[in-house]
Amino acid sequence: MNCNGCLEKLDLYLDRELTDAELGDVRGHLERCPPCEHRYLLLAGMKRLVKVCCDQGAAPSHLRQKLVQILF
Amino acid sequence: MTTLVAVAENRNGTRFAEEAMGHLDTLYRGALRLTRDPAQAEDLVQDTYVRALRYQHSYQEGTNMKAWLFAIMRNLFWDRFKGGRPEDVSLDGDGELSLYDTLKDPTAVPESEVLDRIAADEVVRAVERLPELHREVVLLVDVEGFSYKDAAQVLGVPIGTVMSRLHRARQQLQKSLQDYARESGIVREEKESA
Ligand SMILES: [Zn+2]
């Protein structure tokens, strides 16, 4: 696998959307290629950051109460 | 007999409602990211639950209720706030952002350190600045952890569309955060050439 092939699959690799064989190919390339690994780490760091930052906060309690009345 | 059926149906309804309520916080956060307004987010979530209740017979028990609820909410969002659901047009221009390349310099600040120093508020703002079609893919895949297949189902588009929107969204996010990092002095200005 060359760099272009690796970069094309980087999103899929990050999101665990590859077959085991493809996964192994990408991982193998990343271990040998610091620039691609660098890109991967950045991409992975961003995904983690987005998840952590956007996944905070609860629904207001008055909304919850209103929904309980509607649903039950 | 009728009473037994009624009791059973009532019990199913309660179970449905309980499971649906278990997704309230995550739906509200999604609504907040979509509408960018707490009052509108509340309306959207409430309407989503009302519609879910009305169509609960179409939900198959044991399938992905979170995805089902997100699909309802997402369609309501487009119908109500954007005047109709989007055509499956490509937003993707040609101009590839070259940010991956600008970060190839091994002497640059390590990416993880840069990311660690970006405030959570700024990340949320960067997500909220994305065009809606890109934003919703990021919400589904990166925040909610949906597979491409589930995200495609929620959005009613082919998996390839999910992939291209996600890729584009991540490039935009990276550019946003990179710009922020430079402007706020977290990373030094890089030279134009090289
Ligand atoms: Zn490479």
Q: Note whether B103 and A39 are within 8 A (CB).
A: yes
> Could you tell me the residue range of the domain that residue B118 belongs to?
99-183
d(CA A57, CA B27): 11
Whether residue B20 is found in the same domain as residue B51: yes
Chain B positions in Cβ-Cβ contact with residue A10 (cut-off 8 Å): none
pLDDT digits (tens, 9 = 90+) for B81-102: 888 878 655 554 434 444 444 4
Closest residue on chain B to A63 (Cα) = B42
Q: Is B57 found in the same domain as B120?
A: no
For B78, phi then psi, to 5°, come to -70, -40
Q: How far is B58 from chain A (nearest CA, A)?
A: 16
**Residue of chain B whose alpha carbon sits nearest to that of A68:** B21
- Which one of B46, B81, B116 terminates a domain? B81
| Predicted local confidence at residue B97, as pLDDT | 41
**Domains held by chain B: number:** 2
**ipTM over 0.85 threshold:** yes
Which of chain B's residues have a Cβ under 8 Å away from the Cβ of A39? 100, 103-104
Tell if the CB–CB gap between A15 and B148 is shorter than 8 Å.
Answer: yes
Chain B, window 48-87: residues with a beta carbon less than 8 angstroms from a chain A beta carbon? 49-50, 53
Is pLDDT of B29 > 90? Answer: yes
**Rounded (10°) CA dihedral A32, A35, A39, A41:** 50
Asked if B181 reaches chain A (Cβ–Cβ under 8 Å), the answer is no
Q: What's the burial of B83, exposed, middle or buried (CB within 10 Å: 0-12/13-18/19+)? A: exposed
| Residue B19 to residues B57, B58, B70, Cα–Cα distance (Å) | 14, 15, 14
DSSP B57: G
**Contact call for B46 and A56, based on CB within 8 A:** no
> Do residues B42 and B113 share a domain?
no
Domain count, chain A: 1
- d(C-alpha B140, C-alpha B135), whole Å: 9
The whole-angstrom separation of Cα B116 and Cα B191 is 23
Residue A1 has pLDDT above 70, yes or no: yes
pLDDT at B77 over 60: yes
pLDDT for res B112: 61
**Domain boundary residue among B54, B81, B108?**
B81
Q: Is residue B91 part of a domain?
A: no
For residues B112 and B37, membership in a common domain is answered with no
Give the SS3 label for residue B89.
Answer: coil
Residue B68 and residue A62: Cα distance in Å, rounded? 24
Which residues, other chains included, contact B189 with Cβ-Cβ below 8 Å and sequence gap of 6+?
B182
Report the CATH number that the domain containing residue B55 is assigned in CATH: 1.10.1740.10
- Asked if B49 and A42 come within 8 Å (Cβ–Cβ), the reply is no
Q: For chain B, what percent of residues have pLDDT higher than 90? A: 57
Q: What is the pLDDT of residues B96-131, one digit of tens each?
A: 444 444 444 444 445 667 788 888 889 999 999 999
pTM of the entire predicted model = 0.86
Q: Do A70 and B46 touch (CB under 8 A)?
A: yes
The confidence band for B26, taking pLDDT boundaries of 50, 70 and 90, is very high
Beta carbons of B111 and A72 less than 8 Å apart: no
Range of the domain at A27: 3-71
Q: State how far the alpha carbon of B194 is from the alpha carbons of A70, B115, B135, B136, B180, in Å.
A: 61, 23, 33, 36, 22
Asked if the model's pLDDT at residue A56 lies above 60, the reply is yes
Query: Domain check: are B77 and B115 in the same one?
Result: no
Q: By CA distance, what is B120's nearest residue in A?
A: A53
CB neighbour list of residue B35: distance below 8 Å, 6 or more residues apart: B41, B44, B77, B81
In a domain, B42, yes or no: yes
**Statement: residue B192 has pLDDT above 50:** no
Q: Distance between CA B28 and CA A59 in Å, rounded?
A: 6
